Amino acid sequence: MKLKVPKDIRPTSSKVKEAIFSVLRGYLSRYENLNCLDLFAGSGALGLKALEEGIDLCVFFDKSSCSIQAIKENIQKYKFEAKSKVLKKDVLKFEFTENFDLIFADPPYSLNKDEVEIIFEKVRRVLNPRGIFVFEFSSRFDFLQINVGFELLQKKIYGDTTVCFFSLPE
């Protein structure tokens, strides 16, 4: 997918995106009627890839007007309008009301420990019991300083990017 990317964001690289979906394909193939939440969506790359892989609905969240415009253009370009919802909201301040099967969070690498904890708390409240939470962050971030309250399924490191796959504890 060739996406419009706002110049003020750090998009997920193609290599990392493909690696994420290599892990997720087994999960995605086991279930039907899955929905997705793409937090800090930027260009919408992860949510759009999820739609391409068979997710039924994706809700894209970003607070940047430039990102929202790019996401809408990318959704239209790939004809996913019927399967998409785009919201211009601050993830750290918004209260979610629906639950999701797959949640992506690729926040700015500059977020601090308290802000990351807010993200994890919000996700914990809306991730379905069988769901997967994919968190992308800087490899320089000391993740051990946070009690995330999730089960770590996998952790992958790609240069300066770390991707963790979480589920809710049973």
- Please write the tens of the pLDDT for every residue from 16-47: 999 999 999 988 888 889 999 999 999 999 99
What's residue 2's pLDDT?
A: 80
Locate tokens 């996913």: which residue? 80
Locate tokens 């919408």: which residue? 44
What's residue 145's pLDDT?
A: 64
Alpha-carbon gap, residue 88 to 61, rounded angstroms: 6
What's residue 149's pLDDT?
A: 84
What's residue 72's pLDDT?
A: 98
What is the value of pTM for the model shown? 0.94
Q: What is the pLDDT of residues 46-91, one digit of tens each?
A: 999 999 999 999 999 999 999 999 999 999 999 999 999 999 999 9
CATH number corresponding to 41-167: 3.40.50.150
Categorize the per-residue pLDDT at 123 as very low, low, confident or very high, splitting at 50, 70 and 90: very high
| 48-86 burial code (b ≥16 CB/10 A, e <16) | bbbbeeebebbbbbbbbebbbebbbebbeebebeebbeb
Categorize the per-residue pLDDT at 9 as very low, low, confident or very high, splitting at 50, 70 and 90: confident
159 backbone φψ class: left, alpha, beta (φ>0; ψ -120 to 50): left
Given a cut of 90, whether residue 12 has pLDDT beyond it is no
Q: DSSP alpha helices (H): ranges in 31-112?
A: 45-52, 65-77
**Mean pLDDT of the region 116-120:** 92
Categorize the per-residue pLDDT at 102 as very low, low, confident or very high, splitting at 50, 70 and 90: very high
Categorize the per-residue pLDDT at 144 as very low, low, confident or very high, splitting at 50, 70 and 90: low
Domain ranges of the chain: 41-167
